Amino acid sequence: MHDVSLIVNGVPREARVPARRLLSDFLRHDLGLTGTHVGCEHGVCGACTVLLDGQPVRSCLTFAVSVAGHEVTTVEGLAKDGELSAVQRGFAECHGLQCGFCTPGFLTTATAFLRDHPAPSDDDVIEAVSGNLCRCTGYQNIVKSVHRAAELLAEEGS
């Protein structure tokens, strides 16, 4: 067993887990942050995407013990002071989700993407979310949501 400490959504968190504990399960089961979802557990669907030191990674393809000491942001950490983030609002405004199961992975991915690409083209957005599966929306409104989020971020910044 290993004592694993991470900074999760800005807060130091610790749990004692076996080495094989996937980061996805560590967040969901050991820390109770169930917003991160697992859709395939073999790295294809992207539902479990979290930000590791700010970059999107598959939490189902990461052992918690391996990222001890690092910073993780989950969907629960996107809202600030109870206010939904621009990305979250963009998805809600543009009907960018239906069942909502894949949504946390899209939100974390889009959050990192828009931080680095504040005014993206359609092709940029498509490439950015190209590793996330959604079975409900047909993606059209997801692309629209990311563009809307970029607008909202620009408004916040101005």
Partner 1 sequence: MKPPSFVYHAPATVAEAVEALAAAGADGKVLAGGQSLIPLMNMRLAAPGHLVDINHVAGLAEITAEPGGVRVGALARHAEVEASETAHAAQPLVREALRLVAHPAVRNRGTTVGSIVHADPAAEMPAVLALLDGSVRVRGPEGERDIPAGEFFVGPMESSLRTGELAVSVFFPSARGGTAILEVARRHGDYAMAGVAALVAPDHAKVACLSVGAVPVVVDVTEAEGDWKRAAELVQDQIDPEADIHATADYRRHLTGVLTERALKAAADA
Partner 2 sequence: MTTKLFGEPVRRREDARLVAGNGRYLDDLGANALAVAFVRSPHAHALITGIDVDDAIDVEGLVAIYTWEDLPAGVREPLPLLIPHPALTHGRTAYCLAKDVVRHVGEPIVMVVATDRYIAEDVCERIQVSYEFLKPVVGLETAVSGPNLVHEDVPGNIGAHMIQEVAAKDGRATRDVIAAAPHTLEFRLDIERSACMPMEGKGVYARWDADDRSLRVYSSTQTSTSVRMAIAAKLGLPLPKVEVIAPDVGGGFGVKIVHPWPEEILVPWAAILLNREVKWSEDRREHFISSAHERAQVQHVKVGFDDEGHVLGLDVEILHDHGAYTPYGIIVPIITSTQLLGPYKIGSYRVEFFSVYTNTVQVTPYRGAGRPQGVFCMERTMDKIAQYLGKDRTLVRAANFIQPDEFPYDQQMIFQDGRPLIYDSGDYPESLRKLKDLIGWDEFPLMQSKAAEEGRKLGIGVGCYVEGTGVGPYEGGHVQVTSDGRVHVSTGLTSQGQGHETVFAQIAATELGVPIEKVSVVTGDTRRFGYAVGTFASRAAVMSGNAIALACRKVKEKALRIAADALEADPADLEITDGMVHVVGAPSASIPLATVAVLSNPLRYAFDEEAKRATQFATSGSMDKPPVAEGQEPGLEGKDYYSPVRSTFASGMHAAIVETDPDTAEIKILRYAVVHDCGKMINPMLVEGQIHGGVAQGVGGALYEKMVYDEHGQLLNASFMDFLMPYVTEIPFIETDHLETPSPLNPLGIKGAGEAGVIPVSAVIAGAIEDAEKIVIDRMPISPSDLYALRDSSRTSGAVSRLRNTQ
Query: Per the structure block, which two tokens stand in for 120?
Result: 């993206």
What's the closest the beta carbon of residue 59 comes to partner 1, in angstroms? 10
Q: For the chain, what is the radius of gyration of the CA atoms?
A: 15
Is residue 37 within the footprint of partner 1 (CB under 8 A)?
Answer: no
74 touches, from partner 1, partner 2, none (C-beta below 5 to 8 Å by class): partner 2
Q: For partner 1, what does the binding mask look like between residues 39 and 78, x meaning CB under 8 A?
A: --xxx--x--x--x--xxxx-xxxx-xxx-----------
- Do 128 and 142 form a contact (C-beta atoms < 8 A)? no
56 touches, from partner 1, partner 2, none (C-beta below 5 to 8 Å by class): partner 1
- What residues have CB less than 8 Å from 80, skipping those under 6 apart? none
114 touches, from partner 2, partner 1, none (C-beta below 5 to 8 Å by class): none
CA distance linking residue 33 with residue 109, whole number of Å: 18
- Which of 27, 55, 62, 56 is closest to 41 using CA atoms? 62
Query: Per the structure block, which two tokens stand in for 2?
Result: 């290993």
The binding site for partner 1 (CB under 8 A) comprises: 2, 18-20, 22, 25, 41-43, 46, 49, 52, 55-58, 60-63, 65-67, 109, 127-128, 130-132
